[in-house]
Each structure stands twice: as C-alpha cells, then as structure tokens.
Chain A
Amino acid sequence: MAEVSLQNISKTFGDTEAVRNLTLTIRDGEFVVLLGPTGAGKTTTLRLIAGLEKPDKGRVTIGGQDMAASAPASRDVAFVFQQYSLYPHLTVYENLAFPLRSPARRLSREEIDRRVRDVARMVRIDHKLENRSTRLSGGEMQRVAIGRALVRKPSIYLMDEPLSSLDAKLRGELRLELKRIQSELGSTLLYVTHDQIEAMTMADRIGILNEGELVQLGTPREIYSNPVNLHVAARLGQPHINLIPEGLVPGGQPPRGTKTIGARTEHIEIHAGNGTANAEIDWIEHLGDQSHLHMRIGGHKLVTLANPYVPVMPGDKITLMLKNPLYFGADGQRLV
C-alpha cells in the first residue's frame, strides 16, 4: 500500500480535454471515490494512474516515486474494469491466478494456489473455481474481477464502476462486501462511479469531477452539507436538491448577491395551510416508509421527503418556510 498522488495532470484527446489540471492525493489506506457524470474524466484519471494513458502535463507519483517512465506492469496497481473484465478463455481459477503467473512475479505453484483459494473465499466464489469464466452470472463475474485485483497486494486498487452493470440488489450486497474487504485489508482504493449512494456509503473522501476538473474533495458529510457550488450540490441528495430563485420562499437570511437558493428536505419546513399559505401540494408519491411530496410555489416545483403519516392530500394549501438553506451567487458558487 502506498500514497498515490496526481499533480497538475492534464490530458487531451483530440479536441476534448478529458482531465484539466487535476491535483489529488489518495492517502495510504484511504478509500476515495470519484463521482461525476459521464465524460467528467473519471475513467481517464484511473487510466492515467494505471499508465494506460500518458498525461500531457503533470506528474503521477506512487509511493513518492515518479511514474512517468513506468509501464503499466511495473506500477504495481490493480484495475477492475467496468466490463469485459474476465478472460473468456480461462477458468475462474486461471483468471484469479493470471496476475500471479506473470513473468514479472515468479511465485511458486503452491503460493499461487494458496493465494487464489484465499481470495476466492474472500469474494465467495470458491465453489466455482473450475467453471469457465463465461459461465457465471453477472454478480459472480464481477466478484471474480474484484478477486483478480485483490489476489495481489498492489500499491493501489483502481476500480472503474465495478458494480454498474449489476442489478440493484446485487449492487447493494457487493457494495457492503467491497467496503468490508477494503477495511479488512486496509487497502488504498480509488473508486469511480456515478452512483451517489455508492459514493456516500463507501468513501472516506469523495472527489467531485466535472468536465475534467476536480470541483471539490472532502468527506461524504462535507460534500453533502457544504457543497462549494451548484454542481456539487446537485450531485448528492435524494430527492434531488430543489433550486429556487431567491425571494420565492420566505425564511433564511440570504447574503448579498444570492441568486439561487438550494433547499433539501431538511431545509424546508411545511405547515398546514392557514391564512399565510403560499404553496400547494401537487402530488404525493408513497415509497412505503416515506413519501415524496411534490409541491408548487409560484410556478416552481419542489420535491421533499415527508413522513407518510403527514395528513395532507393533493390540492391542499400549505405554508413553506426555509430553514438555513444553501445560498448560491449568480456564478453558481456557494455564498456563506
């Protein structure tokens, strides 16, 4: 395990700038998640660390050593790809043993066997070791892919949306397993996703990428409650943060220059309608343990979570108040 650091990295493909002036340090043993929409430069960042791409500018160091001249094989990183991850002509066992059999490593047959079986147990695939890798379910394949990374003890694990091709239930299970394995091994891990739940539940720190730039880096808590701009605020939170023009809803003390107010569920107070009613319930989505309240105020729509037993009906008049919401200026930056 080692500290991995990117300094002022830029990478351009043709006309598109995939990564712009990116500086990021992943501390030893840390689980960092890069979160961003498609095309934000997440995968490119991983590939730059792995050595599959060469940066146009900037430095990549692993354990303090400059990696500029190192081939992927000598960087001591492990990579889990989003798909196509298993060698289709090999069995599960051979897939797991593949990194250990590399000419660069020269391990004894017994050592390889021991490590393959250990890892297979860890990712719970030990009952299918002799299967062809193409004869597995999606979840099993992805467990083998993760196992193939874990079978080595590299400086850093790089994972590119490893759970995105799985169904929701499996994704939930593997998310927990991955976090458990990472904390058991104390591994350094850089994980790329566009799923905010994965980011919130697994990360020690989250990096928000947008158009090749690192917009904010911090703990999940910080990113959620202290977003630096509108973009970051919109990445996290379910339901989506409500962005409303300043002055529409009473409450709060907007600083000078406020253009937009961001209001999550916890920033909105609802009172049953009386003389001061300023909004109307549009629609209620029952989720079981909670409800989504869809409201309309002055031509704007808001969504908030509510206790399902709140006695309101579509068409009811209500009073909305803001409570310490987030304020953003005309440029989208946060105002405090």
Chain B
Amino acid sequence: MSNATTAHSVVEPSSTSKRIAGFIVILYAVITMVPLAWIFLTSIKSPPDSISYPPKIVFQPTLEGYCNLFTTRTRQTPEYIQSLGPPTSTCDEITRSRNMVIAGPSNYWPRFTNSMVIAFGSTFLAVFLGTLAAYGFSRFRVPLADDLLFFILSTRMMPPIAVAIPIYLMYRELGLSDTALGMILLYTAVNVSLAVWLLKGFIDEIPREYEEAAMIDGYTRLQAFRKVVLPQATTGIAATAIFCLIFAWNEYAFAVLLTSGTAQTAPPFIPTIIGEGGMDWPAVAAGTTIFLVPILVFTILLRKQLLRGITFGAVRK
C-alpha cells in the first residue's frame, strides 16, 4: 500500500490524471443532468415564469403545474368565485387566484396507470418468456438453434415502427387497438428478442452440473430450473428487466398510433396537456417529472444487479 501513490506506480493513476478524469466525469454528469433539472424547475414555475425570456433562474416556486396536471378547470366570473365558500385545498386556492374553478380530475392519472400496467406487464411477459426460451436454447439440442436465434434477433434489425402500418391494420381487425392487452403483446414481442439474447448469455454461464446435481438429488428439470438456475440468473434477469422496462415505458410512436383513449399511455398524453393561450409548460413538466419516478425507483432498486449485469463477463469467472 505504501508505494501505491508513488509517481511510477502502474496500478495507481497519478493525481493529475485523477483530477482530469474527475473533471470530465463531473462535466458529463452536469451536461446530462441539466435537462432533467430544467424539467423539474419548470414544473414548479408559474406559467408566466416558465415562458419568460431570458429564463428565470430565481423565481417563486408554486404547485400550479402539478395542480393543472391533475385537474381540469373552467373560467368563472370573480363574482361567482367570491360566492363560493373558502377554498378546500391548495390547488383550489391556486386555481381561484387565476379566476378559475376545478371542474374535475384530468386524464393524467388514468394514463399513468395505463403506462404502469402496460410497461410492467410487458416487461414481466418478455422476461418470463425470454428466460424459458433462453434456458431451452442454452441447455437442449434445439434443431436449427442458430437459425432460430438469428431469426429472433432479426426482429430487431429494423426500427419497430417500420412495421407500424401492418400492425395497425392487424390490431384493428383483431380488436386489439386501444387495449392494454394489445400494447402489452406488442411491447412483449419487441422486447422478447432482446430478453432471449441477453438471458441466453447469462444462463450459458451457469454450469449445467448444478442442474444435473439437482436432478439426481430428486428434482425434476423444472424444479431444478426454479431452485438452482433461477437464483443464479437473478443478475441477468434484473438487467434484462430494466432494459425491457425502459423501452416499454418510454415508447412513444406505437403508443401514439395504436392508443387514443382507454389504453393511452402517458408519453402520448403528456404533450396534449394544453392550457389557456398555448402549452401549459409547468403542467407538461410536472407530468414528465412524475413520469420519471417509477423507472428511477425501479432502476435504483436493481442498481447492483444492473451494474453487475452490464459488466458481466468482465467480472464473472
């Protein structure tokens, strides 16, 4: 340890290079985080502040954006508003100060719920099917295995939206348009190829002696798979789940095309939030901020597995 920081150490970088590296990392972090910070700051600005030029860095924060996101409002005369009782909530108060009253909840919450159901549902299905298929490819002599794997991968070789028109027509015929089931199946179909390939790599790394030992110890193959293979594949499964979830959560093009009402997800909904006299930017920013939360929480929860998953092969023996 004593010579770890000497000038000629080959394992320890010099303090200059560490400083340069640190500067680059911080710069990169700032550049990538500025848009996120901007969105969050916009979400707590008032509508006039959000479009003022030059942009305001210092401003009076308000929850107006969040109120506008979750409610629909109607304009009323000051006399009518005077005639109402005292405001029942913060949002009520903010709304009245703009000469409006809350008419009811907005569609944001149902759209957000749709996003949750569709993204998590398709992620679960894709990982579930992907794990089974990957195990099959990894362990059995599947006829034409290489061709099948190539075929599975080939579904990712063009942008999914390239097949939008056929899928649109097909979904219309099948009655899957604007249904959560339709969106789950679609995202699963896109994600399952990624899942199979990623997971096959992970499962290939698990020596088959473990399952053979379990099968001799009195377990069937499926039980051995559950008791021995799955626990060892958690890293890969977690990493795969995050990739699938991020795709399904953020997907915009298909969502715009195939959903309009009951099954609409949050991404196509957020841009449609329109306030009086143009876009209600604080509400849009509030919607985006809240939209980021689930994926952030999920990623933080699985952070350890994800990191190991990304670097896997480098660290596993």
Contacts and interface: CB of A to CB of B under 8 A. Distances in A.
* Pair from one complex: yes
A73 interface: yes
A21 B160 CA distance: 56
B220 A84 contact: no
B232 to A, nearest CB: 6
A79 B218 contact: no
B230 to A, nearest CB: 10
Interface in A76-112: 77-79, 81, 83-85, 87-89, 98-99, 102-105
B213 A85 contact: yes
User: For chain A, what secondary structure do more than half of its interface residues adopt (helix, strand, loop), or is it mixed?
Assistant: loop
Contact of A98 (B209, B214, B220): B214
Interface centre among B207, B219, B231 (most CB of A within 10 A): B219
A277 interface: no
B220 A71 contact: yes
A152 to B, nearest CB: 8
A87 B211 CA distance: 9
Interface string B221-260: 0010001100110000000000000000000000000000
A109 B217 CA distance: 17
Contact of B218 (A81, A85, A88, A99): A99
A50 interface: yes
A100 to B, nearest CB: 9
A85 B220 CA distance: 18
B210 A87 contact: yes
Contacts of B223: 102-103
Contacts of A52: 212, 215-216
A325 B214 CA distance: 49
B218 A84 contact: no
A102 B217 contact: yes
User: For chain B, what secondary structure do more than half of its interface residues adopt (helix, strand, loop), or is it mixed?
Assistant: helix
Contact of B213 (A51, A75, A79, A105): A79
Interface residues of B, number: 17
Given A84-B207, A87-B210, A79 B216 contact: yes
A81 B209 CA distance: 8
Nearest to B221: A71
Contacts of B215: 52, 71-73
A85 B210 CA distance: 7
Given A87-B228, A88-B232, A50 B207 contact: no
B216 A50 contact: yes
Contacts of B214: 87, 98
Contacts of A75: 216
B219 A73 contact: yes
A155 B61 CA distance: 77
Contact of B231 (A89, A102, A103, A104): A89
A73 B218 contact: yes
Contacts of B213: 79, 81, 85, 87, 148
Given A99-B218, A102-B217, A103-B223, A72 B212 contact: yes
Interface string A18-52: 00000000000000000000000000000000111
B216 A84 contact: no
Contacts of B220: 71, 73
Contacts of B232: 88-89
Interface of A: 50-52, 71-73, 75, 77-79, 81, 83-85, 87-89, 98-99, 102-105, 148, 152
15 contacts: A73-B215, A73-B217, A78-B216, A78-B217, A81-B212, A81-B213, A85-B209, A85-B213, A87-B228, A98-B214, A98-B217, A99-B218, A102-B223, A104-B218, A105-B218
The 5 closest A-B pairs by CB, nearest first: A102-B218, A99-B217, A104-B218, A84-B209, A89-B231
Given A87-B210, A98-B214, 14 more contacts: A50-B212, A71-B215, A72-B212, A72-B215, A73-B216, A78-B216, A81-B209, A81-B213, A99-B217, A102-B219, A103-B219, A105-B218, A148-B213, A148-B217
